[in-house]
Amino acid sequence: MPYGTIGKNAFGEQVTFIDRGNRRRTIVSAGRHDVLVSGLTPVRPFHIIGSSSDHIILDTQNAVLVPGDEVRFYMDYGAMLRAMTSPYVYKTYVHGAATTEPYKQQFLLSRGTKQSRPTETEKSPAN
């Protein structure tokens, strides 16, 4: 737990922390630049502790995650809007994804370097 006088973060917010004891935390490679973090709800029983422009910090309780593991979120309209319009987020629609609520479509969203994206030649089924 931080002690002393707590100032404002880079976004002008004065944040508070709840002492939950020793917990595992996970850094997600997406942040406010990519998605409206306040519009995210983790699917698993994780808690969003905070975020920066390019990372989200999760309290993952006692779950053991390793680099490359998938973390899923429910997204409200604002989160989906920002993610879908961000040039830094790669989008893939998951065809035939099972859901009981038709308005909840499933997408794979990821960040990476432009070089990691497949070229049109690599995507072509003819090659």
CA distance 119 to 3: 50
pLDDT mean for each 10 residues of the chain (127 residues): 78 81 88 92 92 92 88 90 88 64 55 47 44
pLDDT of residue 122: 44
Handedness of CA 39, 44, 47, 50 (dihedral sign): negative
Which residue do the tokens 């698993």 mark? 44
